[in-house]
């Protein structure tokens, strides 16, 4: 669900942050941190809990967390001495300090009109609304048990209300490629896009309801 605070709108489903000028770019881990702070507001989240949730099953030093907090403050125009959004609780952790409100969820009727999936040879993976994690870990939403695929390789976020699907690499070892172009930031997917993760080649397909069906019928008649 989207959350508004100050001039910003945070959308965890599409993994996007907007202000009055458009989209505000964040690295994946910085975005994860912002989502955690907003969702748990006004609770103070301990540094060790944040480290465990942002970097699960990985040993990282506290300085990594401080780097992400600094990135968020720059993106939000915040100051550590007079914080409007991110409050530091010394020797403990961080908390979200601003007032925030949730936006109304999109109507179920519109969501049902939008369907998308991935094809891997003859295997089909239906993508759910919101975040879909792709990787070699069996706990991933799209489990790709193949060589050169990282345990957590990429993420596809589906936003039916906006009719938009975006993909991002989540720090994979061998990278993610869409239509032979390396993914270095969020990429909006279109029907028929070819996604490469390690040795796996996926084809993204989308069904957008009766409008698309009519378009397909017209295209076939012109052949």
Tell me the per-residue pLDDT of 77-118, one tens digit each, with 9 for 90 and over. Answer: 988 888 899 999 988 999 998 888 876 555 444 444 578 999
Report residue 79 as tokens.
């100051």
Q: What is the rounded distance in angstroms from the CA atom of residue 125 to the CA atom of residue 117?
A: 5
119-154 pLDDT, tens per residue?
Answer: 999 899 999 888 899 999 999 999 999 989 999 999
pLDDT of residue 111: 43
For the cut 70, the answer to whether the pLDDT of residue 219 exceeds it is no
Where does 96-209 have alpha helices with state H? 108-112
Pick from 61, 59, 60, 66: nearest CA to 90: 66
- C-alpha closest to that of 114 among 50, 161, 172: 161
Question: So what's the pLDDT on residue 209?
Answer: 56
Give dist(CA 194, CA 166) in Å, integer: 13
Per DSSP, helices labelled H in 90-184 are 108-112
Residue 187 has pLDDT above 60, yes or no: yes
State whether residue 176 is helix, strand or coil.
Answer: strand
Instruction: Tell me the whole-structure pTM to 2 decimals.
Output: 0.50
Cα R_g (the chain), whole angstroms: 19
Gap between the Cα atoms of 134 and 138, Å rounded:
10
């Amino acid at each position: 669900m989207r959350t508004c605070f100050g001039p910003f709108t945070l959308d965890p489903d599409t993994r996007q942050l907007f202000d009055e000028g458009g989209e505000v770019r964040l690295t994946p881990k910085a975005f994860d941190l912002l989502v955690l702070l907003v969702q748990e507001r006004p609770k103070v989240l301990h540094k060790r809990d944040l480290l465990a949730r942002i970097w699960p099953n990985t040993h990282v030093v506290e300085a990594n967390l401080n780097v992400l907090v600094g990135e968020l403050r720059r993106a939000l125009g915040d100051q550590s001495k007079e914080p409007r959004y991110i409050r530091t609780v010394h020797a403990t952790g961080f908390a979200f300090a601003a007032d925030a409100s949730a936006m109304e969820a999109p109507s179920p009727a519109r969501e049902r009109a939008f369907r998308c999936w991935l094809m891997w040879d003859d295997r089909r993976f239906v993508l759910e609304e919101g975040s879909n994690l792709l990787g070699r870990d069996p706990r991933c939403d799209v489990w790709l048990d193949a060589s050169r695929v990282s345990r957590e390789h990429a993420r596809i976020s589906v936003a039916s209300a906006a009719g938009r699907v975006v993909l991002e690499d989540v720090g994979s070892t061998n990278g993610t490629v869409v239509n032979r172009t390396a993914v270095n930031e969020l990429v909006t997917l279109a029907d028929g896009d070819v996604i490469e993760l390690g040795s796996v080649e996926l084809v993204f397909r989308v069904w957008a309801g009766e409008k698309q069906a009519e378009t397909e019928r017209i295209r076939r008649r012109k052949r």
